[in-house]
Structure 1
Amino acid sequence: MKKKLYTTLLTSLMMASAVSAQAADDLLHVKGKLANFGDSAVVAYGTFGGETKQTNVVLKDGTFDFTLPMKEVSYVQMATPATMRDQDRTRVLVVGVPGETLELTGDMKTRYDTGGSKFYQQYHEVNLMLENSSKEMQEYSMGIQKRLDAGENRKQVMKEYREKAAEIEEKAQQRMLDFVKQHPDYEASAVVISFLEDVKKMEQAATLLTPEVQNGRMKSYYSFFIDRAKQRAEAEEKASKAQATGVQAPDFTLNDLAGKPLALSSLRGKYVVLDFWGSWCIWCIRGIPKMKEYYNKYRGQFEILGIDCRDSDEKWRAAVKKHDLPWLHVYNPENSKVLSDYAIQGFPTKIIVGPDGKIVKTIVGEDPVFYTILDELFGKK
């Protein structure tokens, strides 16, 4: 009787242990201490390309300890409530792996580091490598900005930057590939793939991984980024054709601030800058002062047509009023084909259209080259 009772008890304990182990495999344990973070955090997490979930966490003197239900490799963002309201930028963004323990330590005003279980020890090595790989570019970019601020010739400086930056970036990419070569058995090496710039390099890095890592739990992670890079490459090829110099700019008609239809073709005979922007786009907003400066500098020689993207009508109108934007504006609704017709890939995108209705130049991002082009077009007049 005692033997039977002992056997039953042992079996129950083994079953409970198995259930506990299974449960632990579906959890990410996050703990640590971060100075200057605040007393609470909003934690957002979810699979890459999938649904986002959210929970709130209380910090005591910067210390936290919580678990997240997780069955697949996911992203995890831990941010202050102010950051979630776009009033701050205090956040931690990491790759979450179920069954692991992530330890975060440091000071949000200086730096924080990752540690914990085996995966996150490897992840820390990856982060240090990525940080070192990006240093040369960061330092070079800061030097370029100082030269521009000091009044050096913008055209010459930016020409040098484009040539030198490509060389520096290629070196950084090679360092990343070298890390994967040296650590093919690290699961965290799969994270490097998401930082590589083109599909060929990403696929090369994937083949460098051991079969165990290639086909293990990180497969969904790196496959997502490779698939997305392929889609981006296809979209960029379409954009290069749609936005190429000499291509006839597709005509469109959208409603202006007065609610009246405004057609691009109605501006034929003058230079027009199509400014694809949104109130949510940080770089779009940061570029407004310079845009205003050049709009006034060459007033009457060209027109700007702001094309709002991914805003509600109310937010669009509020942004135009808040930033006191003096040029033409139209609202681009969700069912519009304008973004597709122009193959817009990023924001802001500025497309200069000539008096003949053909594209002169396309500039993606808040790039100083845009203003150099305006100087070349109108500075001699």
Structure 2
Amino acid sequence: MNLNLYIMLKSSTIALLILLSGLFISCKQSKGLTVSNMKKHHIESNIKGLGDDTILVYYVPLSKMGEDYEPIQDTIFSKNDRFAYDTPSNEPILLYLFSKKGEFTRKSGHPYRPDEKHIVALVKPTDQLNITGELKQYYLDYQVQGSAFNEQYTQVRKNYIEATSEAVSIELKLDALMAINGDTTEINDLFQKRNAVNSAGRNAHLEYIKNNPDKDLAAYYLTRQPWEIFGKYYNELSLNVRNGIFKNALESKIIKYKKYTQVQEAELKIKEGESAPDFELRSLSGNFSLNAVKTKYIVLDFWGSWCPPCTKGFPKMKAYYSKYKESIEFIGIDCNETEEKWRKAVLNYDLPWPQVINKLDIDDDVSVKYGIKAYPTKFIIDKDKKILAKFIGKDDSFYQKLDELMATK
């Protein structure tokens, strides 16, 4: 695993993983609901081993699934293994519940909340779901009754969850090794083992998609599949499912899939010696065009303030900008964030070279034209607008190349 680059897969899958691992550092606490025979709740749960605990909650309305949407957060409490929850939403939601007792602490002090210990449920306004199960060391064994979707989901999950829970113990071993800069071979072996273990879940989901194209659960699983699988099986879903409760999520992923395929095609064309695609983007003070640079070499730096390796590389970039700014035009191209965040980042990091912001429309997206798959990515372009070199990640060879180039100019 290369810690010097940030692979940008803007899909619901990767967004979900990020949210599950760190959303609930600070949440507003709600008064817990007491399970009562006098009132039926949307969710009533009895999980062995839960005891008296804090339950972290977040949910996404299905109409917002697949968008850059801030999940609604909440905190409730269990008493003697039991808790209840009523969702305030008047539309179907995807609900995630996590018991603090299921949390591990990384060597860095940050919480680790495994997917294997989350409860996932589709909740409609009229639903009354009953959740039962047991909290185990590395996973939560549970089942949901009250809706066909949730019953199918937990049944499929039950077939692989014990096997894939081994990934949790592997993750803890990896965390311990990486904290002490452990043996690289051992770390890589554990990464491969973890990926192999996780494949059981992915394979089970794919089999369900193949065998049940007329089920909403197949659509949900498909939104979490790699791009190649999504592209292959989307049209296999029945028309009713494609236009069903996961329609928005599927359509959002279609747009991102089209971007993915165009990036794949562009990557094959963007090679050393080929012409650099021209573009015009908005800068802090106007517009910038690549072809407007006539007498200098050019460095294009694709970055984002959400990308730690990008921002960690700024100090050295500043030094090289000062060193070669008379001969090289440095251009920062901010990607995948709002104008407000872009402007704030340029100010906070005090970036002295010209900065532009990428366009969101796929036809005008410069990151697509340049086949960008990971951040930061840098290009060195000569005075004739030919690509001299491409560098992915926080790579010192980029600076070595600049020194060599300036030494021979």
Q: Same fold (TM over 0.5)?
A: yes
2:42 counterpart residue number: 29
1:116 counterpart residue number: 144
Please give the alpha-carbon distance, in whole angstroms, between the structure 1 residues aligned to 2:362 and 2:239.
40
2:34 counterpart residue number: none
One-letter identity of the residue aligned with 2:42: H
1:250 counterpart residue number: 278
Fraction of identical pairs, as percent: 12
**Structure 2 counterpart of 1:274, from 298, 301, 317:** 301
Please give the alpha-carbon distance, in whole angstroms, between the structure 2 residues aligned to 1:168 and 1:267.
53
1:239 counterpart residue number: 263
CA contact (8 A) 1:248 1:359 kept: yes
Please give the alpha-carbon distance, in whole angstroms, between the structure 2 residues aligned to 1:336 and 1:298.
30
Q: TM-score, with normalisation over the residues of structure 2?
A: 0.53
Which secondary structure does the structure 2 equivalent of 1:328 belong to? coil
2:355 counterpart residue number: 330
Which secondary structure does the structure 1 equivalent of 2:379 belong to? strand
For residue 66 of structure 1, report the CA deviation from its aligned partner: 0.6
Please give the alpha-carbon distance, in whole angstroms, between the structure 1 residues aligned to 2:76 and 2:131.
14
Which secondary structure does the structure 2 equivalent of 1:343 belong to? helix
Please give the alpha-carbon distance, in whole angstroms, between the structure 1 residues aligned to 2:295 and 2:119.
47
CA contact (8 A) 2:331 2:354 kept: yes
Q: Relative to total residues, which structure has the larger helix share, 1 or 2?
A: 1
One-letter identity of the residue aligned with 1:292: P
2:342 is equivalent to residue 316 of structure 1: yes
2:318 is equivalent to residue 288 of structure 1: no
2:90 is equivalent to residue 75 of structure 1: no
Unpaired stretches in structure 1, ≥5 consecutive residues: 1-26, 80-86
- CA root-mean-square deviation: 5.9
1:353–1:103: structure 2 CA closer, same or farther, 3 Å change rule? farther
Please give the alpha-carbon distance, in whole angstroms, between the structure 1 residues aligned to 2:399 and 2:144.
54
Residues 100-144 of structure 1 deviation map (CA, whole Å, 9 limit, x = unaligned): 62648888x98666532154344235456479569679959959x
CA contact (8 A) 2:43 2:130 kept: yes
**Structure 2 counterpart of 1:350, from 362, 365, 377:** 377
CA contact (8 A) 2:208 2:218 kept: yes
One-letter identity of the residue aligned with 1:59: I
Q: Which moved more, 1:115-124 or 1:330-339?
A: 330-339
1:101 counterpart residue number: 129
For residue 380 of structure 1, report the CA deviation from its aligned partner: 6.3
Please give the alpha-carbon distance, in whole angstroms, between the structure 1 residues aligned to 2:400 and 2:163.
38
Which secondary structure does the structure 1 equivalent of 2:300 belong to? strand
2:10 counterpart residue number: none
2:333 counterpart residue number: 307
Q: TM-score, with normalisation over the residues of structure 1?
A: 0.56
Residues 341-375 of structure 1 deviation map (CA, whole Å, 9 limit, x = unaligned): 44277774634141242345667xxx64x526526
1:46 counterpart residue number: 62
1:377–1:31: structure 2 CA closer, same or farther, 3 Å change rule? farther
**Structure with greater contact order relative to length (CA < 8 Å, sep ≥ 6):** 2
Please give the alpha-carbon distance, in whole angstroms, between the structure 1 residues aligned to 2:191 and 2:73.
44
Please give the alpha-carbon distance, in whole angstroms, between the structure 1 residues aligned to 2:239 and 2:362.
40
**Structure 1 counterpart of 2:226, from 197, 203, 206:** 197
Please give the alpha-carbon distance, in whole angstroms, between the structure 1 residues aligned to 2:144 and 2:294.
61
2:76 counterpart residue number: 59
Number of aligned residue pairs? 324
Please give the alpha-carbon distance, in whole angstroms, between the structure 2 residues aligned to 1:321 and 1:122.
50
Which secondary structure does the structure 2 equivalent of 1:220 belong to? coil
One-letter identity of the residue aligned with 1:120: N
1:236–1:187: structure 2 CA closer, same or farther, 3 Å change rule? closer
For residue 328 of structure 1, report the CA deviation from its aligned partner: 1.8
1:11 counterpart residue number: none
Please give the alpha-carbon distance, in whole angstroms, between the structure 2 residues aligned to 1:271 and 1:137.
45
Please give the alpha-carbon distance, in whole angstroms, between the structure 1 residues aligned to 2:300 and 2:90.
47
For residue 299 of structure 1, report the CA deviation from its aligned partner: 6.9
CA contact (8 A) 1:272 1:353 kept: yes
**Structure 2 counterpart of 1:340, from 344, 356, 365:** 365
CA contact (8 A) 1:193 1:202 kept: no
